[in-house]
Chain A
Amino acid sequence: MSLGRLAIHACLLGLSVLFLLPLILLVSASLSSEGDISRYGFSLVPRTPTLAAYQYVLQDPGLILTAYAVTITVTLIGTFAGVMIMAMLAYPLSRPDFSWRGPLSFIVFFTLLFSGGLVPLYILVTHYLQIQDTLWSLILPYLVMPWYVFLLRAYFSSLPRELIDAAKVDGAGEWRIFFQVVVPLSRPGLATVALFCALTYWNDWYLALLFINIPALVPLQYLLYQISTNIQTLQTSSQAFGVVVPALSAQMAIAVLAIGPITLAFLAVQRHFISGITLGGVKGD
């Protein structure tokens, strides 16, 4: 290996370590004792590793379990419905023989260029639709994301036309062609969009910040936000007064519990993620 190449490896390795540093710091903090943190600050390696913070957080896991349930429900419903609806929106736009292709593409595209912003959306949801404090308010606003519609349209356009024509000659209707020919052939494209939709729903706290006021519907990320602004959120009534909250390490422990699943999921599907980005980046324009 040449010297130049070795230097490049050193650069990339150093950068990789630097990029992982915050994560290491977080995990280490969650494993540190409260006393160590207040004495020595957050450190990259716990001085006296302890699971005390996790024990504290998990002794009354109701809060976290509820948040997990909300997040999982929203992610599953939102991703499934979103991909389905976006694919059904994108497929006709990929068909050159579809008469209203032009104007309807523009209707979808225009939402990328112009948006009414927060105030009208807020008034619409709370005043007219009145779906605040329901799961709908966490799902519906993200259901159709125009970028992904165009990504899917590009994907559908790349499918061989002959397959659709052949199915037509066989007498299949448009719905049958879509569900039995197009969808099965487009699995990689649909999977990519599903991954990014799932990530959006899993990571969302914004809609909850705007529309959720009841504890039973607080998703995971919003719970974390509440804890970071007020550690007392963690202290539930079932705990005796006088129990000292390991505030700093417990915060970090709950953050680790929140990112655990997404990290594992990423390790499992990272290949698709990365190939999906290039699909969107190069084809999506």
Chain B
Amino acid sequence: MPWSWLARSRGWRANFDTERSKSNAALLLMMVPGLVVLFVFAYLPMFGIIIAFKDFRAYQGVLGSRWVGLQNFYYLFGTDDARRIVVNTLGMNALFIAAVLVAALGIALLLREVQSSNRWFAKFYQSTLFFPYLFSYVIINYFVFALLDTSNGLVNHTITALGGQPVSWYQSPQYWPVILTLITVWKNAGFWSIVYLAGMIAINPEYYEAATLDGASKWRQIWRITLPLLKPLIIINVLLSIGRIFYADFGLFYQVTRNAPELYPTTDVIDTYVYRTLTTIGDVGMASAAGTFQAVVGFTLVLFSNWFVRRTERQSAIF
């Protein structure tokens, strides 16, 4: 570099440094509002997990309340609730992850086939299947109510019209793992199929041309080309979901079940338990113990799933 001697000379260096630190300061200043919001609404609550180790009294504040060690956790794990909410949260989320993945990949594969020849149709299907993603769980509760209401619901009317016995859906917990899985697929499959379709479109068409020349069937091409090449994308999405497997979708479990106590055996999850214990029962200790347990186990799961991916598929790891 002919100019490097210049950069090495003292005056230039100093000038460059002040320039850079001025630039650094300006960029840092730009970040201040966002960092303040994160500090208040993400980091302060993180320190708030000490509430789980205290006998919290509102008038004493978080710092002033008495330390009680693990007492809140003893109470929490002394109840039957603890096992139930952990099993429900993990079980339902595992169902959701698998079902949404299979449905989204299936839809994406179908869309891929019509994508190039019938653009208009492909767009139409894509928009329609994505549409449910826009609805809040409050609205979805209305949909599900119109379908499942015992006396007026469409499902029961269809059952009786076909000569069957109506079912009290909102009092029958055994059906809800399936019902909630269907709703989750309905709401999210469109979204994820768009992600996977984009991944499929990015695959070099020459692979398929070569495979067709070799006489490979469509089915074989899917298994041998499409899915293997999508693997990194699938892994990262499943990994992210597993990292969040200890967190349930509060809206789904609270709104769509209409918070019916009869359904708790299968639908009470950590998040609904924490909410109910905090607001209805007012037991801050138990609620914060459950919340802290969730945060710590959740964090461990993220680290673990990332470690797992680093070992197997290094380039897909998040960090």
Partner pick for B34 among A144, A224, A270, CB 8 A cutoff:
A144
Query: What is the size category of the interface that chain B forms with chain A?
Result: 35 or more
Partner-contacting stretch, out of A57-65, A99-107, A186-194: A99-107
Partner pick for A221 among B28, B125, B136, B191, CB 8 A cutoff:
B136
Interface mask (A94-127 → B, CB under 8 Å = 1, otherwise 0): 0101111000100111010111111111111001
Please indicate which of the listed interface residues B37, B52, B274 has the most CB atoms of chain A within 10 Å of its own CB: B37
Interface mask (A172-206 → B, CB under 8 Å = 1, otherwise 0): 01110010000000000000000000010001111
Asked whether B135 is an interface residue with its Cβ less than 8 Å from the other chain, the reply is yes
Chain A neighbourhood of B195, CB < 8 A: 277-278, 281-282
Asked whether B149 is an interface residue with its Cβ less than 8 Å from the other chain, the reply is yes
What's the minimum C-beta distance from B29 to chain A, rounded to whole angstroms? Answer: 8
What's the minimum C-beta distance from B86 to chain A, rounded to whole angstroms? Answer: 15
Interface mask (A236-258 → B, CB under 8 Å = 1, otherwise 0): 00000000000010011001001
- Complex CA gap A44/B41 in Å reads 44
Which chain A residue shows the least CB distance to B244? Answer: A112
What's the minimum C-beta distance from A132 to chain B, rounded to whole angstroms? Answer: 12
B114/A41 in contact, CB under 8 A: no
B111/A140 in contact, CB under 8 A: no
What's the minimum C-beta distance from A245 to chain B, rounded to whole angstroms? Answer: 15
Chain B neighbourhood of A86, CB < 8 A: 34
- Complex CA gap A108/B157 in Å reads 51
B152/A37 in contact, CB under 8 A: yes
Which chain A residue shows the least CB distance to B190? Answer: A19
A98/B47 in contact, CB under 8 A: no
Asked whether A51 is an interface residue with its Cβ less than 8 Å from the other chain, the reply is no
B38/A127 in contact, CB under 8 A: no
Partner pick for A117 among B135, B151, B191, B294, CB 8 A cutoff:
B294
B37/A85 in contact, CB under 8 A: yes
A113/B107 in contact, CB under 8 A: no
Please indicate which of the listed interface residues B45, B113, B129, B186 has the most CB atoms of chain A within 10 Å of its own CB: B45
Partner-contacting stretch, out of B6-14, B18-26, B88-96, B208-216: B18-26
How many A residues touch B, CB cutoff 8 Å? 93
Partner pick for B141 among A23, A93, A228, CB 8 A cutoff:
A228
Chain B neighbourhood of A144, CB < 8 A: 34, 37-38, 41-42
B292/A42 in contact, CB under 8 A: no
B38/A19 in contact, CB under 8 A: no
A88/B30 in contact, CB under 8 A: yes
What's the minimum C-beta distance from B288 to chain A, rounded to whole angstroms? Answer: 4
B31/A92 in contact, CB under 8 A: yes
Asked whether B74 is an interface residue with its Cβ less than 8 Å from the other chain, the reply is no
Which chain B residue shows the least CB distance to A116? Answer: B45
* Contact flag A262-B134 (CB < 8 Å), given A16-B128, A16-B129, A85-B33: yes
Residue pairs across A and B with Cβ atoms less than 8 A apart, 29 shown, are: A15-B125, A22-B186, A41-B154, A42-B147, A89-B34, A100-B24, A107-B35, A111-B42, A113-B302, A115-B295, A116-B48, A116-B49, A117-B274, A117-B291, A118-B287, A119-B274, A119-B287, A119-B288, A120-B46, A121-B48, A204-B136, A224-B139, A225-B138, A228-B138, A259-B139, A274-B127, A277-B194, A282-B198, A282-B202
5 new A-B contacts, CB < 8 A, other than A16-B129, A205-B251, A285-B236, are: A85-B37, A173-B26, A206-B250, A281-B198, A281-B199
